[in-house]
Amino acid sequence: MDDEKTFDEIIEEVIQLLDDKKYKQTRDVLLEYNPADIADILTEVLDEASLDEAIIAFRMLPKDISVDVFSFLSIDDQVAIINGITDREINYIVSELDFDDKIDVLDELPANVVDKILEKTPKNERSQINTFLNYPDNCAGTLMTPEYISLQIGWTVDDALKHIKKAGMDTETIYTCYVKESGRKLFGIVSLRSLVVNDGDTPVSALVVTDFVSVNVYDDQEEVYDKFRKYGLLAIPVVDKEDRLVGIITMDDILDVGEEETTEDIERMSGIIDSGTSEYLDTSVWKQVKNRLPWLLGLMCSYIITGGIIAGFENALSACISLVTYMPMLMGTGGNSGSQSATLIIRGLAVGDVALKDWARVLWKEIRVSFIIGICLSAFNFVRIYCVEGHMSPEAMPIAITVCVAMILIVIGAKCIGSMLPLLAKRIGIDPALMASPMISSLTDLVSVLTYFMLAVAILKV
Amino acid sequence: MDDEKTFDEIIEEVIQLLDDKKYKQTRDVLLEYNPADIADILTEVLDEASLDEAIIAFRMLPKDISVDVFSFLSIDDQVAIINGITDREINYIVSELDFDDKIDVLDELPANVVDKILEKTPKNERSQINTFLNYPDNCAGTLMTPEYISLQIGWTVDDALKHIKKAGMDTETIYTCYVKESGRKLFGIVSLRSLVVNDGDTPVSALVVTDFVSVNVYDDQEEVYDKFRKYGLLAIPVVDKEDRLVGIITMDDILDVGEEETTEDIERMSGIIDSGTSEYLDTSVWKQVKNRLPWLLGLMCSYIITGGIIAGFENALSACISLVTYMPMLMGTGGNSGSQSATLIIRGLAVGDVALKDWARVLWKEIRVSFIIGICLSAFNFVRIYCVEGHMSPEAMPIAITVCVAMILIVIGAKCIGSMLPLLAKRIGIDPALMASPMISSLTDLVSVLTYFMLAVAILKV
């Protein structure tokens, strides 16, 4: 895509050609790009023109390229395309897909289409597909492929390379090979690198690494991602409860998981119920309402309490109505301070920089940080309220003092709440990401109002 | 680390052994684990016991393992260890590190230590190191390694494999090889897979892929990460302005970039200035204040305007003081609604689901979503304010209507602001992540207060 044409111009050209029914030319334009880019172009055609045109363009691609392009499409687009092509084309594409991609597609198709595809699948593969389709969502089992290279411990490097040469075409990766012992238990792994750099008569047993990292088939995908990152792996073996090798997960399948998990975290941190893998523009209005309303409604209830607190101070407010003008600032700053702390701790927990046992260190750091920040913000406000707005009149002094003391206490309180709540959530087994901005600011608003009005009553004697 | 012992128990055991000066046993315990795990253990020893003990433990490791362990340590810990070991040990470790890890360490060491190390480095490597040290932070140049496999176009598969066997030990990856044409221009890439599965007399020219993806040496690391993810690559070639191959970036170096960029985004979304790569517990109180205070101070200023608006409505407030009780709810819900939309759009922009040109579709969707949400929240409030709190008295009606109409308008306004501001930021070249929760809620607070009081004046005639 390092062409002089921009991506938008290419889309425009392709859609124009399709509209003009110049199919041969469409095909030639598409074939200038690599499969990942063609998939991008088709996605845009599907969004901006019509599904029918996207399907026509897709069907015109050479068979082998169409499979690659298909594997780069989003799962929703894959299903849309499957519904628009002939059974024969479906069978070809599905049979040529890598095993893990195949499972992903089958998982989303209606049962009758799946049945039709499975009918034409060899029996042993069919039962394997059924096993894979039954793994719960987001576990290692749904990411793995059973197509890996097995080596025999008694082989030499030459034997191994000969085997890889034969079996290599149909497996997802050949860069890591696996050696099993009796009962399908995983004994060790051999990298293709070690095979290639060693002499042909070296025994495989001399190259096998038995100190390997593996995951269980029911492990959450986030754990799998963390292991890839920590150990810098290209592939990871997946074992069942009896330590038997059932499949492998390769690097390319895990990068998307990283993005998904990040999106989930970020959405939770903003009070949005997980949108799953669906894209913003593709989710319906009702689904969006369903993802957002519960949190807004729940958080609104906390404001009933905040409102109640204010109602309790109505006398004080009537006596000094200008107290209200500083309320948004104190509440807003409290919320922002708390969110900053919560974010740092949530992120620290997620990447492993902060652990539960560090809570006292975290609290002590937050208290010092918030004290300094509180003093700075108060100094700014004192100048503003007493000197600038109050013209240094003696009446302005008590209000200035109330606001400034409240500011310091609110910032300290907010940062303590913001930093401790994610740790508490982790302690009791809730996702810390839920304790971010909306939750924290609702809570700190409550604390801010209470602190401010209690101080006002004490200092202003209203 | 699938041991029966928990990680904490291992740390405790190692620290106890070090305290008792049982160094031989410490070493034996450590050597039960693989380098990534040993690095984790040393990090904990460094945090919980002392730097000296961590250095002792590190120095006791066999030389070849110590290099691996070193490469898994964080850059701060690497520098701490370098400062505690002898020059000879430094030279050994630095010379054995992969080129890109070497650059990372040298970049952080004081100039005099770097000079001492470079003195003992062969001249051609020295000038290469100096070039690499001069690349700006976070660009492709700082991630790449110049150690890759070059193949000649005239070779056969057998020639290529023979070359890889010789050169393979010292290069970071052998799974992707590179073919250059005259003038060091990159001509194409050959995967080790294609070499291994083809016959020995196949010419390399038949296997070379010329339709490859590359990055420029000055490209931002986020772009590099996106290309890895999009194309599912194991390594990517890095070229200079003249399309000459200057190095390659491998997968393991890019996973950390993904995490770094996510942390940067999430922090920006909460009004925190980038903390860079430093961990929460390792940054000083002053640094934390410096990262957080500017945003809090800036946002506080927007509340001066909000306060001013309230001051303008003081008469209305004195006439109906109970208006204040609903203020936090309206402001809070407005802020939360806006943040939800902002988060979805920021994330959509980051992963490529949403583009600038989609702004009208986004706006239309947000208007519909917010209208429905606004109606739901208002219905809830109407029942609460008029029926429950107001006992259905006729006096409660106007306030209930004011709050409910304000709620609908505020939610719609907040969601429009929240969704459009990130797109606007992108349009004018600012990071959309800066337009998240704190920024949005400060703005929506202002709009909420204004809407609410204007409605109150109109409906309640105060």
User: Topology of domain A280-460, per CATH?
Assistant: Tetracycline Repressor; domain 2 (1.10.357)
A338–chain B Cβ distance below 8 A for any pair: no
Averaged pLDDT of chain B: 87
Q: So what's the pLDDT on residue A371?
A: 95
Cβ contact (<8 Å) for B303 and A332? Answer: yes
* CA-based nearest distance A178→chain B, Å: 16
Whether A452 has its CB under 8 Å from any CB of chain B: the answer is no
Mean pLDDT, chain A, integer: 87
Q: Using the beta-carbon criterion (under 8 Å), do B267 and A318 form an inter-chain contact?
A: no
User: Does the beta-carbon distance from B321 to A314 stay under 8 Å?
Assistant: yes
Instruction: Determine which of A15-19, A75-79, A359-363, A398-402 has the lowest per-residue pLDDT on average.
Output: A75-79
Query: Does the pLDDT of residue B3 top 70, yes or no?
Result: no
Write down the pLDDT at residue A2. Answer: 46
Both tokens of B84, joined, read: 């505690």
pLDDT at A282: 80
Q: Which residues of A touch B251 (CB under 8 A)?
A: 232, 234, 251
* Residue A74 or A198, more confident: A198
Cβ-nearest to A354 among B281, B296, B326: B281
Domains A7-134 and A280-460 share a fold: no
Q: Which two tokens stand for residue A436?
A: 């971010």
**Cα nearest neighbour of B165 on chain A:** A197
Confidence of residue B206 (pLDDT cuts 50, 70, 90): very high
CA distances A285 to A99, B181, B337, B362, Å, are: 34, 54, 15, 11
Contact B299 A8 (CB under 8 A): no
Cβ count within 10 A of residue A122:
9
d(CA B1, CA B22): 22
Nearest-CA distance from A112 to chain B in Å? Answer: 31
More confident residue, A253 or B193: B193
The answer to whether A201 contacts chain B (CB < 8 Å) is: no
Q: Give residue B277's pLDDT.
A: 60
CA proximity to A268, closest of B359, B350, B269: B269
Domain boundaries, chain A: 7-134, 149-269, 280-460
A165 contacts in B (CB within 8 Å)? Answer: 196-198
Say which DSSP state B244 is in: B
| Long-range interactions of B38-43: CB distance < 8 A, separation 24+ | B38/B65, B38/B69, B38/B72, B39/B69, B39/B70, B39/B72, B39/B73, B40/B7, B40/B72, B41/B10, B41/B11, B41/B14, B42/B69, B42/B73, B42/B77, B43/B73, B43/B74, B43/B77
Task: Give residue B151's pLDDT.
Answer: 92
Q: Is residue A209 a contact partner of residue A189, using CB atoms and an 8 Å limit?
A: yes
CA distance A328 to chain B (A): 6
The confidence band for A277, taking pLDDT boundaries of 50, 70 and 90, is low
Inter-chain CB proximity A333 and B300 less than 8 Å: yes
d(CA B338, CA B418): 4
Please give the full DSSP string across A107-118, using - where no structure is assigned.
Answer: HHS-HHHHHHHH
With cut-offs at 50, 70 and 90, classify the pLDDT of residue B276.
low
pLDDT of residue B267: 84
Tell me how far apart the alpha carbons of residues A60 and A82 are, in angstroms, rounded to a whole number: 15
- Choose among B445, B413, B450: nearest CA to B310: B450
* Structure confidence at residue A205 as a pLDDT band (50, 70, 90): very high
Q: What is the pLDDT of residue A351?
A: 79
- Please answer yes or no on whether A259 and B229 come within 8 Å at the CB atom: yes
Domain made up of A149-269: CATH architecture:
Roll (3.10)
Is A329's CB within 8 Å of B318's CB? no
Chain B touched by A442 (CB under 8 Å):
yes
CA-based nearest distance B420→chain A, Å: 14
Q: Which residue has the higher pLDDT, B126 or A365?
A: A365
H-helix segments, B383-436: 396-427
DSSP secondary structure string, A11-51? HHHHHHHHHTT-HHHHHHHHTTS-HHHHHHHHHHHHHHS-H
Work out how many CB contacts closer than 8 A connect A with B.
326
Best CA proximity match to B438, nearest among B267, B309, B308: B267
| Contacts with B, A 295-314, CB within 8 Å | 295-297, 299-300, 302-304, 306-308, 310-311, 314
* Average pLDDT for A115-143: 80
Contact map slice: B 126-155 vs A, CB within 8 A: none
Which of A71, A145, A210, A336 would you mutate first to test chain B, the one with the most B CBs within 10 A? Answer: A336
The pLDDT assigned to A85 comes to 83
Q: Reply yes or no on whether the pLDDT at B274 is more than 80.
A: no
Tell me the range of A75-79, A271-275, B124-128, B276-280 where mean pLDDT is highest. A75-79
pLDDT, position B1: 43
Terminal-to-terminal C-alpha distance of chain B: 70
Q: Mean per-residue pLDDT for A417-443?
A: 89
Q: So what's the ipTM on this one? A: 0.71
Mutate to test the interface with A, among B74, B227, B313, B343 (most CBs of A within 10 A): B343
User: pLDDT value at position B4?
Assistant: 60
Q: Does residue B418 sit at the A interface (CB-CB below 8 Å)?
A: no
pLDDT of residue A391: 82
pLDDT of B295 higher than 70: yes
Query: Shortest Cα distance from B82 to chain A (angstroms)?
Result: 22
Backbone φ, ψ for residue B287 (5° rounding): -65, -40
- Interface residue A200 vs chain B (CB under 8 A): no
Nearest to A69 by CA among A30, A100, A113: A30
Contact across the interface for A343 and B270, Cβ inside 8 Å = yes
Q: CATH classification of B7-134, choosing from 1.10.540.10, 1.20.1250.20, 3.40.50.300, 1.25.60.10?
A: 1.25.60.10
Nearest-CA residue of chain B relative to A48? B358
d(CA A351, CA A130): 35
Cβ-defined contact of B343 to A272 (cutoff 8 Å): yes
Name the residue of chain B whose CA is nearest to A433's CA.
B266
Confidence of residue A4 (pLDDT cuts 50, 70, 90): low
Band the pLDDT of B109: cuts 50, 70, 90: confident
Among residues of chain A, what percentage have pLDDT more than 90? 30
Residues of A within 8 A of B307 (CB-CB) are 325-326, 328-329
Task: Say if the Cβ atoms of A266 and B265 lie within 8 Å.
Answer: yes
Q: Does residue B180 surpass a pLDDT of 70?
A: yes
- Facing residue for B344 by CB, picked from A262, A280, A310: A280
User: Which residue in the set A270, A306, A377 is minimally distant from B339, CB to CB?
Assistant: A270
Digit-coded pLDDT (tens) for A319-332: 888 889 999 999 99
Write the CB contacts of B194 (distance below 8 Å, at least 6 apart in sequence).
Answer: B207
Q: Residue B196 is nearest to which of A192, A258, A442, comparing CB atoms?
A: A192
Q: In whole angstroms, give the CA distance from residue A442 to residue B437.
A: 13
pLDDT above 90 for B366: yes
Q: Is B234 on the interface with A (CB under 8 A)?
A: yes
**Sign of the Cα pseudo-torsion (A394, A398, A403, A408, in order):** positive
Within 355-414 of A, beta carbons closer than 8 Å to B belong to: 357-358, 361-362, 365, 368-369, 372-373, 376-377, 380-381, 384
pTM of the model: 0.71
Render pLDDT for A135-172 as a digit per residue (tens, 0 to 9).
887 888 888 888 889 999 899 999 999 999 888 777 77
Would you state the pLDDT for residue B2?
46
Residues of chain A with C-beta less than 8 angstroms from the C-beta of B196: 161, 164-165, 168, 174, 192, 196
pLDDT at position B79 over 50: yes
Query: Which residue of chain B has the CA closest to A384?
Result: B304
Distance CA B315, CA B321 (A): 10
